[in-house]
Amino acid sequence: MTQIDESTPPYLRIVGELRRRIAEGELGPGDRLPSTRQIVREWGVAMATASRALSVLRQEDLVRALPGVGMVVTGPESTATVRGARVDARRRPSGGVTREQVVRTATGMADSEGLAALSMRRIATELDVPTMSLYRQVRGKEQLLLLMADAAFAAHRLPQTFPPGWRAQLELLCRLQWSIYRRHPWLAQVISLTRPLMAPHAVAHTEWALRALAGHGLDQHTQLHLVAELANHVRGTAVNLQQGAEAEQDTGLTDDEWMVAQAEVLAGLLAAGEFPHLARLARSEIDLNADSLFEFGLQRLLDGVAVLLRG
């Protein structure tokens, strides 16, 4: 067996260890390999490194992707059972995958690894189908992202009844959007204000906001700009969610742990006395995070809407 030393690239160390487990029988035919997230936690590497390691093992025909299950060790048992759980052969129709399967697989991949990991080839690998078969369901990545976004909004439908008052209606709308971004951090990179998303379930959010503001004496220009500003606040704050998730994957530190690790650096910056106001804040117990920024900004924007409506 090839010796693995500290100079070996991280992905090859992971390949070597998983190859050993397979060779020595710790992982037998049909056994599920650690997922990319499990590899990230166990080895302390980035998601891309974990994905690359699994790709190498797949190229060596030591593992294969089993739809609905994940990566398993190849062998006669891998097509039938995984740790005793039967895999339903009806998951994939004889004519190929469905559009729903493609969107669901792509969404799960983006949720766990970000949009950078998303490719038609990778989706085909996860579904264990030829890459070209995906193009029978989606024209390309641009349409796939549109379908993914629409599915994300569709899974969090707006209620049929409206709460009383424009402010309560807009609060409900914005908090629902925030929960969608929380569930799918990649979505903030897909949404654009200059090129609105032509997805029916996303357009329904714009209609809801315009209805909340209708009948209060605002002109159409003001209504549309207010709706766009509220949507941009939610989306703009949500951009930090994906960045935070990627940083945590790369460093292995949560935001709070990272701040603790930077305490000495911050103390050095403040020691000279050049930043007295920041130094006072640093000694307080103020908790600033994505959720608090979202809520604070939302209330201040709605306060501004209230002023416009009174005027």
User: Could you read off the pLDDT of 215-259 as tens digits, one per residue?
Assistant: 999 999 999 999 999 999 999 999 988 777 666 656 666 666 666
The 10s digit of each residue's pLDDT in 153-176 is 999 888 888 889 999 999 999 999
The pLDDT value given to residue 265: 78
Tokens representing 231?
């949507």
DSSP code of 32? B
pLDDT at 255: 65
The pLDDT assigned to 84 comes to 38
Which is nearest to 104 in space by CA: 75, 80, 137? 137
- Phi then psi for residue 127, to 5 deg, are -90, -10
Q: Give pLDDT < 50 ranges for the chain.
A: 1-4, 77-94
Residue ranges per structural domain of the chain: 1-80, 166-310
Q: Is 70 helix (H, G, I), strand (E, B) or coil?
A: strand
- What pLDDT, on the 0 to 100 scale, is given for residue 2? 42
Domain 1-80 falls under CATH 1.10.569.10:
no
What dotted CATH number matches 166-310?
1.10.357.10
What pTM was estimated for this model as a whole? 0.66
Task: Classify residue 264 by burial, with Cβ atoms within 10 Å: 0-12, 13-18, 19+.
Answer: exposed
Spatial CB neighbours of 142, under 8 Å, sequence gap ≥ 6:
none
Among candidate residues 76, 78, 73, the one with its CA nearest the CA of residue 26: 73
* Cα-based torsion angle of the residue sequence 253, 254, 259, 262 in order, rounded to the nearest 10 degrees: 10
